[in-house]
Structure 1
Amino acid sequence: MSYKNEIVTSANYVTRPKEGSFHLADHHGVTVKTNQGNEYLIHSTPGSGVVVTDTKHMSKNWNVDHSIPVKGEKTVHDIHKSSSGRTTNPLINYMSSGTCINTAKNGEKALKK
């Protein structure tokens, strides 16, 4: 995919209420803006594992929790890889990445490194 080599220029930690009638915590993710002017959401779901999605497809329910300082030169792929679990099986990837919360926290750590 073409986004993989785009350089991250800014980032935000974002949350939204989980969908459905029962949830204990919000859904977490990281949005990144790139040197190409594109914006992506990096987040994790039980059905897909850790994914990169164009922010054009985000619902209006997402809110910026805080901005993340970007240290050094990092690509979207670097952050995706740092956020991901340890397998290509979506459910195991979701669990081994620590669900959406740790996926977002791992992405934030990678951006600050």
Structure 2
Amino acid sequence: MSYLLDKIHSATIYKRPKEGSLEVVDIVGHWGIVVVNDSGSYLVHNMPDTGTTATSISNLSNNWTPVAQLQVGPNKTIQGMFNSTGLVAYLPEGFVKYVSQGFCTGATGSMATYLSQ
């Protein structure tokens, strides 16, 4: 899983409408950050069933739209993005982790701050 430790070259905040069971409470949408590193391009976002995760953008639906380009500080990694959500990053995958990381908006905010420092 070297992609977790590869230096991030660029990052963009993305948003899409909520899907599934939480769709009925779609007030703010679903947020994440697309990053590009030496291993490829990944969407890093917080999901109810896993908590914060990174997936290849080859799985990105057309519902995602770019919102803002981020300035990326030196030596930033996807693992660092995970860690930036706090000690809860070490909880097992699941809904408790998702909530503890601040849902998708809180996790995206924490990760954007980390990347920009």
Greater than 6 Å deviation, 4+ residue runs: none
Find the counterpart in structure 1 of residue 116 from structure 2.
112
Where do residues 1-113 of structure 1 align in structure 2 (5 Å cutoff)?
1-20=1-20, 21-22=23-24, 23-34=26-37, 36=38, 38-83=40-85, 86=88, 87-113=91-117
Contact 1:85 1:94 in 2 (8 A): no
Structure 1: stretches of 5+ with no match in the other structure: none
Q: TM (normalized to structure 1)?
A: 0.91
Secondary structure, counterpart of 1:6 in structure 2: coil
Q: Counterpart amino acid of 2:71?
A: P
Bigger helix fraction: 2
Contact 2:49 2:93 in 1 (8 A): no
RMSD: 1.5
**Cα offset, 1:82, TM superposition:** 1.2
Structure 2: stretches of 5+ with no match in the other structure: none
Q: TM (normalized to structure 2)?
A: 0.88
Percent of pairs with identical residues: 28
